[in-house]
Structure 1
């Protein structure tokens, strides 16, 4: 029996149905029939009050009378009995339960919470995992089990489908079966009392039968766990997601249906992108995209060539590509000459490449081969219009032969219904992606492009921050705390300026005065022209209520502007308190750019950062992109690239704005009381950046900035200094993505034997994908401490590393440690081991385990010295290392599933 409850759930060897009944059209009867109708080989045991037989299987009156302990229990009894049954099953040893009972409240929040608490208390007391309630169950074709209320059988395959919606679960299952699409698992989550998206994603990440994952979701909770699981899964397998609620009305309906907080759709977009997932618009696109991802070669670039025997389909595909933001490949002169020679000048002489309608397989093969050999072409879409002269299947066979020899992506679209059916079957059998229409083929290509960009984002090594970025967090915190003590929610302009300057964000020179007559004196001191802005704790957006006057050039205009702006604010906001005016030197845009940076707090994902067009132009041309903190310079660049404003910046402006975004990200992490910040406009030119106006809203909070984020930031608090035996000082700190270059050098300084000990085999050089995994870690479930100190040449470099990867429930962490081969016997290995043990103990991990090769006696001795129980596995010739940190009965902080 597996140790994982989810493994027992989705691959059980025995099933009990509690509440099974002979009455048709009831869940207890339908589930029995579905279980017995499949190829599931294990026993199916019905339990009911009378002990009656169901679907030919002898019944049992109680759980404790069962002849065996089932892996999986499916409960169909009334809701008020479910908690009791879960407790009975848990005592018996069953660890996986699906609740199909009817009558659980969804819209009555108070009653729903009572039912939920009863189920969870019973489940947690006995270590049971619960799927549902209000769900249809699941289907796992690999083991032949249909543990759902859907009579439709699912075909076996390598794609997992996970749905928050029962209605979509049944629709997709029906649709996919008719299209001969198979699944490894189809899972309906229902109301997610216990098992959430992150639990399923973690399970599918380790499931060898699953190669790609499709998600339908409406809302999520536990954003950090979702992001951790999604990022881990997306590094190994394609993850595609459809999310309802793109409109405000749709999002509100989805939130009401699920009883979860309403999050902004652009924030969900940012989260999916940050996790390396691909979001698609609808179910058709979902399956088209997964076909392309599953069958196509990895995409190396974004330039598409289009090959067709009909002009109109080629033009339609081109329009779809350009409208979707794609890139049409430019054919090289050499390729054009080859095409001219092969096609006899009977082609369009541009991309899309249109041949004569009667082009046969040989011409298609020649043209496709030349396109694939062009270095300016990253992928080819081959299309065919039915022709009386050549059977479409013959052309398909020729295209397939060329496509299978190439390492580049080839997509196909054979138009027509009956005439193209044989060709489509051929492509599917040969593993070549094929689509019914040019539009759907182009959408699939654009999805490949987006997926590649998201994966590149996961793999990118960010540049290091400048050494001189040393924010004065204490100064900023004093300003915020003083305002909170004064019971103010909005910082005045002088306070906002002080907070930004504490983080090295330049703010335009300004003077703050109380009376209108003082405005003139301030303007003279600064020099005309100036901007005059009303100060009021009751006004959040001064420009919206007429509280700003720009380009004031004389004393008379200055006095008049002060009076007029104050009057306008009083008229727009009756009762608003006037505390004075800000007089600021005007910055004329000229060749520079007006930008905006803002932060907000999303109810699902916490703090977010938005960037885009600023100033008056933003009202006419909305242009904002959203990102999740923490940001590094690479992520800041990606955020900017998704806006017109960011793409048009000059290099000097780009560098300054990237750094500002990272500073803002750090500010809202360090000062979690800042729940809304806006810098608009932010002026950028070749000389740098300057904030012309800033608005900061604050509130008391008991949560740290780290706890509020959906992605755990770099834990700076874990840094510490230590000394080696030779007196050399080292910094022990968590690893960062930008450490990748030094980590290559560190691995190169390991001897061949040390590499074998660390990687359990002879390793010449690690692939970059592995190095990325070693340096770009999720601090929420993995930790790696590196020792940084002077190397042989005196330059600071990586001298050693220890890491621990925790299981999703934090019950166990597997460790590994390595020290540069020229630094042995300096005490560094023990120092790193003690560091990771302290960290795991603080985090609540229950035990640390590891393994070492049988001839690595030094590792066994080190582990024994720091408290591990060391035993020898003679069959595998390895040392087994085990360090209990907590009583197995204790619950770790991360173990609570609420």
Structure 2
């Protein structure tokens, strides 16, 4: 239900507390005390049949006896009373409930399961159970048993753990950090992370969102909401369990795709900035929300103490940043404003006697230098320095540049206990850190945020242009193996599967025994080549564990002997394994190739995950690997490669030519597409994958298969956590005046196209569409229209093929349960009467039916008679909005396609 009725959780008009109690230290007593101390202005009703009064407040025996309708009900009763109490709340007209009770059980017969069913059936939003409650300082709502209420602020904290949320509140109090809201989700039988992300993404009191995540249940819903929220404002996440490992993995790729590594890849793809400690949550949020994002990772440092400057640059390089090289013109300018003896390099040492004027002139020069992406201003107290005057000079420079476009970010590190200097700098919006290490970490928050935002903007197509695959042949291979009850493809089937996607694979011939192996090797041996013999067993995932590989065999006798030895050792070491024989392969001699690994691992939460890194038998010990969620395009594939250490070895060095990185990236895209086309793939291990200047070739591959287990609701791939760009919804239409138009899903790069479109829409049409006069379209507003997550939202733009101009667009946003979708439509004012709105509405309704929605609805101003007439003709029912008589609610029951004319 996403944000439905969440306003009633955070800004209710009236509250009831069921389980209120006068007993000291009881949950009902603590929450009542906090509610009153928080200063909630609305009505508060108490429900407890054992007490007619609690303190100086009356109490009633049941919700129905309250003299008002509580918008929010707080439940602090024993577990066996919770479901009945929630049902009473729904009967009384409450819109939401916070359940503080714990020990509600698990499984289909538990109280938790019954409570979740009630929430869906009655439309009652339920937060919890087993949660800390909700604190909304701007609404003076303290519906929690946390020890202290936080100050008002603009950070929203969403925690899976009530204890962590309470601890973070206590940590933040002496530091003066305020919140727009604090909420713990607890068991999350209804309201979950995704719902809250959707809510705070548009909450005007929230500048940044902080998450403490232990696990995610619905990956697609979470990522859909996270991607939308991260496009609107910074979202910072911390997650424990970084060193957990999977047990009984059958492939290297699965072993490398640890649970935490998969979460890390998911957070990166969603545009979330991950940090690894609770205090870093606040530091990252402060930095991201006050500074512009830099264009790169080159940092210039200026300081009055060159030692701390060098330490800062050391830390910068360790964290993946780059030391900026000062431009020639900047060097000349600094020579003019700094005394002899300055460092003449980055870090810029302005010397220990620098005053505010010298700092200001040097900072001006560095801010103008195009060779750096950000500036770190550092100050160390000396007997010759004036920290506060210097801070004021730096603040003055930055204040004058406040309107610069683009605005280069600046950070400060003021070493020493000078709160006044920090306040002067903080007033300009510049983050001030206590040490060079903290300041560099703050800069790298910006760099990493930029990286994840770039990944967030990627919307790979359903069918990448670089991949031409024989999907039918590939599916036939997998379906045949599944029909035979196999969980692993045999070598011949792997060859056929890889051939369908044009993935180079060293040929292997399956042989039942040593004699067959000798015969199979003969053609290669006759040409003067050598062969390799490998054990063939689906039960032995890692051949090296049984010494199951022999290389460089140059005679039939050597092949037979090797096969005999390999089989004997495998049977001795793994008597439980089914051993089908050996496979014989020609030796691939590429002396300057790099050994890599590529594959697909199956994560129980996020589904297929792409794995890439350094390969070989010691791949898990080396642990040089990066992960990404499909779908993948070439840019994302190159970014995946670049996150590994082995990527440096792919470059040319000494007499070794560079490897063909595009061939590696294309192979990763093909694996991602294979996972998209064949949901039955449970694992793929390509190790080793050789890469050199001539391309790539897989020397060994292992493919696991299983019947599809759907992970995600809604249409699309049953196991992909991220919905690909729906290129199948691109089509051509003809308007009533004979004009042709291309209709396609909106992409993130359509920002400029939308701006030009709105210039051709009249003020009156804008008012009818947005229900108020619109004079300015902010970047954030346009981003919400163009940066879509296709799992739940779609916008289809009609475009003039000749000019590229947008003619109109229709959008549809489905709720999280894929039950109802809300639409919006706008056509350029000079195109009214051409039938474009009608055609876009029909395509939208067709899409809603494909998505599986039961209802499409929208709000239309009563005075917009043209839109209302079209809706009636399309079969929409039109009713008056009960909350606003000037607005009509239009609603269509989707039955596989709209009625009406062609």
TM-score by length of 2: 0.87
Question: Who is 2:559 aligned against?
Answer: 558
> Per the alignment, in what secondary structure is the counterpart of residue 494 of structure 1?
helix
Asked whether 1:846 is paired with 2:855, we answer: yes
Asked whether 1:697 is paired with 2:704, we answer: yes
Question: Who is 2:718 aligned against?
Answer: 707
Is 1:491–1:695's contact at 8 Å kept on the other side of the alignment?
yes
Question: Who is 1:865 aligned against?
Answer: 873
> Which aligned pairs between 1:90-109 and structure 2 lie closer than 5 A?
90-101=90-101, 103-105=102-104, 109=106
Q: Deviations over 1:759-792 (max 9, x none)?
A: 879999998877776555322111234679x945
Is 2:160–2:214's contact at 8 Å kept on the other side of the alignment?
yes
Q: Structure 1 residue 22: deviation in Å? A: 1.5
| TM-aligned CA distance change 1:271 to 1:765, over 3 Å | same
Q: Deviations over 1:649-674 (max 9, x none)?
A: 36872222222212211212222221
Which of the residues 181, 184, 190 maps onto 1:188? 184
| TM-aligned CA distance change 1:516 to 1:822, over 3 Å | farther
> Which aligned pairs between 1:137-152 and structure 2 lie closer than 5 A?
137-152=133-148
Which of the residues 320, 330, 336 maps onto 2:331? 336
Question: Could you say what the CA RMSD is over the residues aligned between the two structures, in angstroms?
Answer: 3.6
Please, which moves more after superposition, 420-429 or 221-230?
420-429
| TM-aligned CA distance change 1:203 to 1:483, over 3 Å | same
TM-score by length of 1: 0.88
Is 1:624–1:643's contact at 8 Å kept on the other side of the alignment?
yes
Is 1:597–1:609's contact at 8 Å kept on the other side of the alignment?
yes
Question: Who is 1:242 aligned against?
Answer: 238
| TM-aligned CA distance change 1:405 to 1:727, over 3 Å | closer
Question: Who is 1:882 aligned against?
Answer: 890
Aligned residues: 862
Please, which moves more after superposition, 842-851 or 142-151?
842-851
Is 2:462–2:727's contact at 8 Å kept on the other side of the alignment?
no
Structure 2: distance between partners of 1:272 and 1:23:
44
Is 1:285–1:443's contact at 8 Å kept on the other side of the alignment?
no
Asked whether 1:410 is paired with 2:381, we answer: no
Structure 2: distance between partners of 1:564 and 1:726:
79
> Which aligned pairs between 1:421-432 and structure 2 lie closer than 5 A?
421-432=419-430
Question: Who is 1:783 aligned against?
Answer: 794
Question: Who is 1:211 aligned against?
Answer: 207
Q: Deviations over 1:610-634 (max 9, x none)?
A: 0111234635633110111121222
Structure 2: distance between partners of 1:747 and 1:45:
50
Is 1:640–1:647's contact at 8 Å kept on the other side of the alignment?
no
Structure 1: distance between partners of 2:777 and 2:204:
23
Asked whether 1:122 is paired with 2:118, we answer: yes
> Per the alignment, in what secondary structure is the counterpart of residue 717 of structure 2?
helix
Asked whether 1:804 is paired with 2:841, we answer: no
| TM-aligned CA distance change 1:193 to 1:757, over 3 Å | same
Structure 1: distance between partners of 2:871 and 2:586:
65
Structure 2: distance between partners of 1:732 and 1:160:
38
Higher-RCO chain (CA-CA 8 Å, sequence separation at least 6) = 2
| TM-aligned CA distance change 1:853 to 1:685, over 3 Å | farther
Question: Who is 2:360 aligned against?
Answer: 365
| TM-aligned CA distance change 1:884 to 1:24, over 3 Å | same
> Per the alignment, in what secondary structure is the counterpart of residue 80 of structure 1?
helix
Q: Deviations over 1:688-718 (max 9, x none)?
A: 3222211011122353881212112345776
Is 2:535–2:581's contact at 8 Å kept on the other side of the alignment?
yes
| TM-aligned CA distance change 1:298 to 1:349, over 3 Å | same
**Structure 1: gaps spanning 5 or more residues:** 253-261, 888-898
Structure 2: distance between partners of 1:764 and 1:584:
70
Question: Who is 2:151 aligned against?
Answer: 155
Q: Structure 1 residue 804: deviation in Å? A: 1.3
Question: Who is 1:388 aligned against?
Answer: 383
Structure 2: distance between partners of 1:560 and 1:755:
85
Please, which moves more after superposition, 726-735 or 465-474?
726-735
Structure 2: distance between partners of 1:772 and 1:583:
56
Please, which moves more after superposition, 618-627 or 801-810?
801-810
| TM-aligned CA distance change 1:596 to 1:54, over 3 Å | same
| TM-aligned CA distance change 1:818 to 1:591, over 3 Å | farther
Structure 2: distance between partners of 1:797 and 1:521:
66
Structure 2: distance between partners of 1:720 and 1:71:
47
Is 1:311–1:354's contact at 8 Å kept on the other side of the alignment?
yes
Asked whether 1:303 is paired with 2:298, we answer: yes
Which of the residues 653, 660, 665 maps onto 1:658? 665
Structure 1: distance between partners of 2:10 and 2:362:
48
> Which aligned pairs between 1:277-676 and structure 2 lie closer than 5 A?
277-406=272-401, 407-417=407-417, 420-460=418-458, 467=465, 469-526=467-524, 527=527, 528-574=529-575, 576-616=577-617, 618=619, 621-649=622-650, 653-676=660-683
| TM-aligned CA distance change 1:524 to 1:330, over 3 Å | same
Structure 1: distance between partners of 2:746 and 2:522:
53
